[in-house]
Amino acid sequence: MKVLLLPLRKVIVGKLRFIDTFDHKLLDMKKIFLLLMLTLISSCAQNETKGEVKIGNQIWTSKNLEVEQFNNGDKIPEAKTKEEWDLASKNKTSAWCYYDNDKKNGLKYGKLYNWYAITDPRGIAPKGWHIPSKEDWIKLSSYLGGDSIAGDKMKSTSGWDVSGEGNNESGFNGLPGGFRFDYGEFGNITGLGFFSSTTETPISSIEVLTLDYGTSTTFFAPFGKGFGMSVRCIKD
């Protein structure tokens, strides 16, 4: 009988140890899963950057913005039709779209946002970043040698009309994403790159940094707040 009890006791103890070890491993797996979920939730609630480049004392995002939500998790309304975009302009509400409402354009050029989206207090710039002012753009252009030559250094090396590419010496990789009129039409993809700023003009339009396929210069153009344009961010 003793011969039988000893192995049986060992079996029981062994099983208890196995169960105890299994329980600890299961608990560890639960902890890991919880941490992964918290990380996922955190990344969903806060916009993130996808590449950056240092130019002088400034650090810029190296791609056009393509977020679909504000930093608090609220959705930025997508306005596809002319009527939807025009209504957002008239109501002074946030909106974004793909050029020609084609997601393929979004993969290359990012999204177009109206001024009401980029200045919304909920924020669309990633944490630690902000939408540039006119002064931020001027500082960038000045570092690259001034308005007359900065355009070539900021433009991407491909994708522009009529051999209008730049040398992208700065690494900014400016793309000709075109724009959207406040009444909903699209224009100038592959020909012009328009980049928003938070700076308003005396006539209640906004200062927009412009890259043109036909010139190596950078210049500012006044646009209505309902226009849709590409967006870059600069580090705080």
Check whether 146 has a pLDDT greater than 60.
yes
- Residue 169, pLDDT > 60, answer yes
Residue 19: the pLDDT is 44
Residue 27: the pLDDT is 45
Instruction: State the pTM of this model.
Output: 0.79
Q: Residue 12 and residue 180: Cα distance in Å, rounded?
A: 74
% of the chain with per-residue pLDDT over 70: 79
Q: Closest by alpha carbon to 176, among 99, 123, 234?
A: 99
pLDDT for the residue 162: 81
In this predicted model, what pLDDT tens digit does every residue of 10-29 receive, in sequence order?
A: 444 454 444 444 454 544 55
Separation of alpha carbons 141 and 183, rounded Å: 31
State the average pLDDT for the chain. 85
Structure-block tokens of residue 71: 């930093």
Listed by start position, the domains of the chain span: 1-45, 52-235
Comparing CA positions, the residue from 47, 53, 49 lying closest to residue 156 is 53
Contact of 137 with 151, CB cutoff 8 Å:
no
Residue 205, CB-side half-sphere exposure with 13 Å CA sphere: 11
Average confidence (pLDDT) over 139-160? 96
Residue type, 82: K
pLDDT greater than 70 at residue 60: yes
Distance CA 181, CA 127 (A): 29
CA-to-CA distance for 128 and 73, rounded, in angstroms?
17
Instruction: Dump pLDDT digits (tens) for 35-45.
Output: 444 444 344 34
Total count of residues recorded for the chain: 236
Which of 45-54, 99-108, 129-138, 161-170 has the weakest average pLDDT? 45-54
User: What are the tens digits of pLDDT across the range 97-122?
Assistant: 999 999 999 999 999 999 999 999 99
